[in-house]
Amino acid sequence: MSVQSAYVHAKTFCSSLLKNSSNLKSEVETLVTLTYVQSLDGKISGNYGQQLTLSCEESMIITHRLRALHDGILLLEKAGAKVILIDSDQNGLLSINHLLSTLRSPPFSINCLMVEGGAKIIDSFLKSGKVDLLIVTITPILVGANGVFAIGNNNLVENNSEDKLPKLTNVTYEKFGRDIVLFANILNN
């Protein structure tokens, strides 16, 4: 796929993807898209957290198109974004419910949020049950043993209970350049 055709494909595909996913939410809930890039061995960064460019040019087009289609993007402060302070819970953890409620209210009015990780953010959102759309770009690179896993070292559920794991539905795969991009809705328990 050429870069030009990737732009055309991304525009059409991402627009319909978000439209179909937004039909799953009520008007008072924020649509949450969780997206990240991982290597074949499931890593999102290099040795001990070293930032890597994993995506190819064609799959980066999808990321940029998705960013344009969302009202807000949640990412790590180091990425140079506007910082919004959100109180943590009594355990010092981020309350995803409180975060989404704050972002949905004025002055932010974010109805469609794109979440780009860090492993802890990815893990927290998956555990929260608030993710509606999951987009994982898989790139044909092996990072190695000291890389950081996308899901982190924690299990998604206590006691590995299969019935508590997020269930993927409407799963599709698209090839963009050398990368494979998985798109799926999440049915939360």
- Is residue 109 predicted with pLDDT exceeding 80? yes
Q: For a pLDDT cut of 70, what percent of the chain falls above it?
A: 77
Tens of pLDDT, residues 25-82:
666 688 899 999 999 999 998 887 788 889 988 888 888 888 888 888 887 665 556 6
Give me the phi and psi of 176, to 5 degrees please.
-125, 110
Strand partners, 32: 113
Token couple for 48: 């001990």
- Is residue 114 predicted with pLDDT exceeding 60? yes
Q: In this predicted structure, what is the pLDDT of residue 76?
A: 63
- Is residue 90 predicted with pLDDT exceeding 60? yes
Q: Using alpha carbons only, how large is the chain's radius of gyration in Å?
A: 16
pLDDT, average across residues 148-158:
66
Residue 65: count other Cβ atoms within 10 Å of its Cβ.
20
Extents of the domains making up the chain? 3-187
Instruction: Determine whether 22 is exposed, middle or buried from the number of CB atoms within 10 Å of its CB (0-12, 13-18, 19+).
Output: middle
Q: What top-level class would CATH report for the domain 3-187?
A: alpha beta
- Is residue 183 predicted with pLDDT exceeding 90? yes
- Is residue 157 predicted with pLDDT exceeding 60? no
Distance, CA of 84 to CA of 73 (rounded, Å): 12
